[in-house]
Chain A
Amino acid sequence: MISELFSVTVLVGILASGIRLATPYLYAAIGETFGQKSGVLNLGVEGQMLLGAFAAFYVTFTTGNLGLGVLTAMIVGAFMGVAMAFVTVNLHAEQGISGIGFYLFGLGMSDLLFQKLLGRVETVKGFQAIYIPGLSDIPGLGEIFFKQNLLVYGAYLLVPVAWFVLNKTTLGLKIRSVGENPDAADSVGVSVAKIRYFTIILGGALSGIAGASLSIALLNVFQQNMTSGLGFIAVALVYFGAWRPLGVLAGALLFSMINSLQLWIQVLGIPVPSDIAVMMPYVLTILVLVATVSRVRAPSALTKSFEREN
């Protein structure tokens, strides 16, 4: 049975599943990376995802327009971001507490809207797999990387873009300086408030897409609390990835690949108790975290609100 794990079908299956499972984590965790790089910890990701998932689903369900669905999810997520930014930047509220408040708001509001507007679990025709011409014919690799839907491709394209913006642009420099030393950034004329508004709103919009990637691309259903803790794992992945987009990608892939491995282990009937199998992704992630991240430092101003001294 163990040998079956190494058959081509199974390996391709594990990798293709892992690529899909990592998609929502990537959107949410990359968005969160921007926020944390600028010094804001947003624990409301899960709530933003849930509202985004519902918005995308509802708009797609009523109009049949997938693009409009994604756009609405982005806008809804961005509005959640505006509210989060107002509370943490203008009102200097404690970031962790307000994030949890926004999570609960998203959880309750998405449930309420679902009950009022839909009333029961429905399905939509979501994003279909796009076969990349030529590349999708490569045996094995084609199945894994080039027969996915648009939002899956988008998540992986986002990683290098985020890396470029954070490390190679003036905007990225401003974001990092605001997160490391807001006083210094302020003294050379960078608006700490503007930068933080930007990153939190961007993070919200990306969390909205993360929700949409579940409700109209990967699952094509909406159910209450369907994110089931995904948003919190995304926040953890930012720490895991040491505030670097590529690190986040590595973490998301590791977690998702092991998750799809454990699905296959059970399907192949390999005699591992299911409780142990489901624990595997979490245990291994913690082990890797302990082994690698101890030397990385968080942005100095993370969770600290900024007030200009006169």
Chain B
Amino acid sequence: MKKFAWFLTLLLALSVVLSACGTPAATQAPAPVATEAPAQPTEAPAVTEAPAATQASAAEPFKVAVVMPSAKNDLAFSQSMYDALLRVQEEMGADQFQFVFSENMFVVDDAAAAIRDYASQGYNLIIAHGSQYGSSLQEIAPDFPKTSFAWGTTVDTFGQPNIFAYEAASQEGGFVNGAMAATLSKSNVIGVVGPIETGDAKLYVDGFKAGVLSVKPDAKVNVNYIGSFSDTALAAEAANTHISAGADVLTGTAQMVVGAIGKAKDSNVLWFGTQSNQTSLAPSIVVASQVYHWEGILKEMIALIQSGTLGGKSFKADLANGGEVIEFNPDSNVAADAQALAETTIKGITDGTITITLP
């Protein structure tokens, strides 16, 4: 009896583990194809009654797989890539471009396994969307010389001919957000909620600070790194702390900031977003978001792969090349006050008259 119970528990635990791991990829993989193309037969390209499918069926669709650390709808880093893939698909057509994804891959070992699986299934391009996946990719890519890999955010291709690197100049949008935040702040105290002081987050925060100080050199920018990408409760309390310290404009980066946005909304404090467009979460307080538009870089990669170059190049999304866009909240009643300043600042950054000095 005891042995049986042991076995049953193990079985239960195992099945739960497997189902937890399998859920994201299994349940959602077909969804993106289906949503964007109502008239096309998405799963079976050979279906005869579709009139448009006949001439296109000659070419194989370009197939992309992406592995991302958080959820595809995290309103932050992962969503920026998911949305970009959707836009590429919309442009190229679902019969020419298909993608699958594995989300919530916060365990690097799981991500590495997923990357290897996708590579062995013959995807044209596999995107490892997270700087933590670098060493795994370095190990896997040489085993699949005919498959192209992309890794972000970084500039390092490991000198391998089948790895592309991509990153965002997040300090640029940060600077623009900071300049706007400074003009809109009445208390001249501005709060920042960050995850861990590194990479993309640090670039954004440092750029934001520089932007605030460029408009109001005597303003106070209080920065709080909470030490986690997922602790929404602590992010919310960090926002509370900023508000108690007198901040009337907040910003923050990474997916746990939804907690902070909630607090900002409750206290009616303005919010500037980054990575994805965060307006939908709190239309009353979000002024603008710096949004990563990876699609330009993705299309360049696809063109290169189709002409036979599988990697070895690194890309940067910035304001000048359209890889970063400042998206305003159309319903914000203060966005208009800041928009003119934002436009001149963006122009200054793109033509080089404004240089952002980072610490």
Are the CB atoms of A101 and B241 closer together than 8 Å? no
User: Could you tell me the distance between the alpha carbons of A226 and B75 in the complex, rounded to whole angstroms?
Assistant: 14
Are the CB atoms of A214 and B13 closer together than 8 Å? no
For residue A305, give the distance in angstroms from its CB to the closest CB of chain B. 9
Chain B: number of interface residues, binned into ranges: 35 or more
Binds B, one of A85-93, A184-192, A283-291: A85-93
User: Within the complex, which residue of A94, A221, A269 is in contact with B232, where a contact is CB–CB below 8 Å?
Assistant: A221
User: Could you tell me the distance between the alpha carbons of A269 and B241 in the complex, rounded to whole angstroms?
Assistant: 13
> Which residues of the other chain, A, contact B5 by a CB distance below 8 angstroms?
91-93
Interface readout for B216-236 with A: 1 if CB under 8 Å, 0 if not?
A: 000000111111101111101
**A309 at the binding interface (Cβ < 8 Å):** no
**A302 at the binding interface (Cβ < 8 Å):** no
> Which residues of the other chain, A, contact B228 by a CB distance below 8 angstroms?
228, 278
For residue A6, give the distance in angstroms from its CB to the closest CB of chain B. 15
For residue B268, give the distance in angstroms from its CB to the closest CB of chain A. 13
**B191 at the binding interface (Cβ < 8 Å):** yes
**B8 at the binding interface (Cβ < 8 Å):** yes
Interface of chain A: mostly helix, strand, loop or mixed: helix
Are the CB atoms of B226 and A93 closer together than 8 Å? no
**A162 at the binding interface (Cβ < 8 Å):** no
Binds A, one of B127-135, B259-267, B294-302, B325-333: B259-267
Closest chain A residue to B11, Cβ basis: A101
User: Could you tell me the distance between the alpha carbons of A230 and B259 in the complex, rounded to whole angstroms?
Assistant: 15
Are the CB atoms of B232 and A219 closer together than 8 Å? yes
Are the CB atoms of B12 and A87 closer together than 8 Å? yes
Closest chain B residue to A129, Cβ basis: B266
Say whether, besides A13-B244, A104-B20, A275-B227, A260 and B237 are in contact (CB < 8 Å).
yes
**A303 at the binding interface (Cβ < 8 Å):** no
User: Could you tell me the distance between the alpha carbons of A131 and B333 in the complex, rounded to whole angstroms?
Assistant: 31
Say whether, besides A24-B233, A221-B258, A226-B232, A100 and B227 are in contact (CB < 8 Å).
no
Closest chain B residue to A4, Cβ basis: B245
Interface readout for B271-301 with A: 1 if CB under 8 Å, 0 if not?
A: 0000000001110000000000000000000
User: Within the complex, which residue of A97, A98, A115, A278 is in contact with B227, where a contact is CB–CB below 8 Å?
Assistant: A278
Number of interface residues of A (CB under 8 A): 60
**B71 at the binding interface (Cβ < 8 Å):** yes
Interface readout for B6-31 with A: 1 if CB under 8 Å, 0 if not?
A: 10111011001101110110011000
User: Could you tell me the distance between the alpha carbons of A91 and B24 in the complex, rounded to whole angstroms?
Assistant: 31
> Which residues of the other chain, A, contact B13 by a CB distance below 8 angstroms?
97-98, 100-101, 104
Are the CB atoms of B27 and A17 closer together than 8 Å? no
For residue B72, give the distance in angstroms from its CB to the closest CB of chain A. 9
Are the CB atoms of A219 and B227 closer together than 8 Å? no
User: Within the complex, which residue of B9, B196, B256 is in contact with A101, where a contact is CB–CB below 8 Å?
Assistant: B9
User: Within the complex, which residue of A9, A12, A111, A228 is in contact with B230, where a contact is CB–CB below 8 Å?
Assistant: A228
User: Within the complex, which residue of A100, A224, A277 is in contact with B104, where a contact is CB–CB below 8 Å?
Assistant: A224
Interface residues of A in 218-238 (CB under 8 A from B): 218-221, 223-230
Are the CB atoms of A218 and B233 closer together than 8 Å? yes
User: Within the complex, which residue of A98, A104, A120 is in contact with B9, where a contact is CB–CB below 8 Å?
Assistant: A98
Are the CB atoms of A121 and B231 closer together than 8 Å? no
**B70 at the binding interface (Cβ < 8 Å):** yes
Are the CB atoms of B255 and A223 closer together than 8 Å? yes
Closest chain A residue to B243, Cβ basis: A13
**A142 at the binding interface (Cβ < 8 Å):** no
Are the CB atoms of B70 and A224 closer together than 8 Å? yes
User: Within the complex, which residue of B227, B230, B281 is in contact with A226, where a contact is CB–CB below 8 Å?
Assistant: B230
User: Within the complex, which residue of B197, B222, B233 is in contact with A275, where a contact is CB–CB below 8 Å?
Assistant: B197
> Which residues of the other chain, B, contact A21 by a CB distance below 8 angstroms?
233-234, 237
Closest chain A residue to B14, Cβ basis: A101
Say whether, besides A92-B2, A112-B23, A266-B223, A87 and B232 are in contact (CB < 8 Å).
no
For residue B267, give the distance in angstroms from its CB to the closest CB of chain A. 11
> Which residues of the other chain, B, contact A219 by a CB distance below 8 angstroms?
232-233, 236, 258-259, 262-263
Are the CB atoms of A93 and B9 closer together than 8 Å? yes
**B74 at the binding interface (Cβ < 8 Å):** yes
**B1 at the binding interface (Cβ < 8 Å):** yes
Are the CB atoms of B244 and A9 closer together than 8 Å? yes
User: Could you tell me the distance between the alpha carbons of A221 and B20 in the complex, rounded to whole angstroms?
Assistant: 22
Interface readout for A1-44 with B: 1 if CB under 8 Å, 0 if not?
A: 00000000110110011001100100000000000000000000
User: Could you tell me the distance between the alpha carbons of A18 and B228 in the complex, rounded to whole angstroms?
Assistant: 18
**B65 at the binding interface (Cβ < 8 Å):** no
Are the CB atoms of B104 and A223 closer together than 8 Å? no
User: Could you tell me the distance between the alpha carbons of A223 and B70 in the complex, rounded to whole angstroms?
Assistant: 10
> Which residues of the other chain, A, contact B8 by a CB distance below 8 angstroms?
87, 91, 93
Interface residues of A in 140-192 (CB under 8 A from B): none
Are the CB atoms of B237 and A263 closer together than 8 Å? yes
Say whether, besides A91-B9, A278-B226, A115 and B262 are in contact (CB < 8 Å).
no
User: Could you tell me the distance between the alpha carbons of A296 and B318 in the complex, rounded to whole angstroms?
Assistant: 59
Interface residues of B in 34-52 (CB under 8 A from A): none
User: Within the complex, which residue of A101, A104, A224 is in contact with B71, where a contact is CB–CB below 8 Å?
Assistant: A224
Most B CB within 10 A of own CB, among A100, A104, A122: A104
User: Within the complex, which residue of B70, B244, B259 is in contact with A221, where a contact is CB–CB below 8 Å?
Assistant: B259
Interface residues of B in 116-172 (CB under 8 A from A): none
**A306 at the binding interface (Cβ < 8 Å):** no
Closest chain A residue to B15, Cβ basis: A101
Are the CB atoms of A263 and B16 closer together than 8 Å? no
User: Could you tell me the distance between the alpha carbons of A10 and B282 in the complex, rounded to whole angstroms?
Assistant: 28
> Which residues of the other chain, B, contact A120 by a CB distance below 8 angstroms?
73, 75, 280
For residue B19, give the distance in angstroms from its CB to the closest CB of chain A. 6
Say whether, besides A21-B237, A221-B258, A269-B222, A115 and B9 are in contact (CB < 8 Å).
no
For residue B233, give the distance in angstroms from its CB to the closest CB of chain A. 6
For residue A142, give the distance in angstroms from its CB to the closest CB of chain B. 15
Supply 11 further A-B pairs (C-beta < 8 A) apart from A12-B244, A92-B1: A20-B240, A21-B233, A24-B233, A94-B6, A108-B16, A120-B75, A121-B258, A122-B281, A220-B262, A225-B106, A279-B227
A-B residue pairs, 7 tightest by C-beta: A278-B227, A108-B20, A101-B13, A93-B9, A274-B225, A91-B5, A13-B244
